[in-house]
Amino acid sequence: MVHCTVSKRVYLAGPEVFLANAREIGARKRAMCARHGLVGVFPADEEDAFDSAMPLPERGLAISRAMERAMRECDAMIVNLTPFRGPSADVGSAYEMGFMRALGRPVFAYSNDARPFLDRVTAFCGGKVRRRPTGEHEDPDGMAIEPFTLHDNLMLAGSVAASSGCLITATVRPAERYTSLAVFERCVERAAATLRR
């Protein structure tokens, strides 16, 4: 009898693709995955395949198509929800969560910022949060701040809850907000344990 185990492929989404040393972070993320028996697929690694002479908009769109193909070939995703240019996750990562969720692939999540959503939005607005007559909080633009005590927008929290149930958060030092992989590694351990079953 032959036991044949194929390593699970995990799409590694997050705003760290925008770091100047994204490739190095990607290599470290892939190495952590490998130590836990997973194959990490890091978006920025795929971008090398594109001709840098291609006009910019076409190049961006070609990368998007390649990322969608890469996601379809993955068994699960680990997404970094650390807030990016605002109190919520990176929109590219949020897009990818929805994509993987619609395909029925489990979404494992982590954030290097453990503050509650209301606290993050309040800090983002410089404290200028008001109460509506209904009791709900709103920001200075009059937009409600979701009251559900979830980590981020309910669609993001819902996709994690309905698939892996794994959302790990811890606040790291500000200088390491996008580079620390301590919380990521805990998430990899959980993903590996779940995907082995």
Q: Check binding of 139 to a copy of itself (CB under 8 A).
A: yes
Handedness of CA 160, 115, 186, 66 (dihedral sign): positive
Q: Residue 175 carries which DSSP code?
A: G
Taking alpha carbons only, the member of 64, 65, 94, 100 closest to residue 80 is 94
Q: Check binding of 86 to a copy of itself (CB under 8 A).
A: yes
Of 150, 168, 186, 194, the one binding a copy of itself (CB under 8 A) is 150
Q: Token pair of 83, please? A: 């807030």
Q: Please identify, using beta-carbon distances, which residue of 137 and 189 lies nearer to a copy of itself.
A: 137
Q: Check binding of 185 to a copy of itself (CB under 8 A).
A: no
Distance, in Å, from the CA atom of 111 to the CA atom of 71, rounded to the nearest integer, reads 21
Of 74, 178, 190, 191, the one binding a copy of itself (CB under 8 A) is 178
Q: Check binding of 87 to a copy of itself (CB under 8 A).
A: yes
Distance, in Å, from the CA atom of 26 to the CA atom of 28, rounded to the nearest integer, reads 5
Give the start-end residues of each E strand in 69-106: 76-80
Q: Please identify, using beta-carbon distances, which residue of 42 and 99 lies nearer to a copy of itself.
A: 99
Applying the rule CB under 8 A, the residues between 19 and 48 that interact with a copy of itself are: 19-20
Taking alpha carbons only, the member of 119, 130, 109 closest to residue 191 is 109
CA 184 distance to own-chain centroid: 10
Q: Check binding of 59 to a copy of itself (CB under 8 A).
A: yes
Q: Please identify, using beta-carbon distances, which residue of 37 and 60 lies nearer to a copy of itself.
A: 60
Contact region with a copy of itself (CB under 8 A), list: 4-12, 28-36, 85-93, 180-188: 85-93
Q: Residue 145 carries which DSSP code?
A: P
Q: List contacts with a copy of itself (CB under 8 A).
A: 15, 18-20, 56-57, 59-61, 63-65, 67-68, 71, 84-92, 94-103, 121, 124, 132, 138-139, 141-150, 152-159, 161-162, 177-178
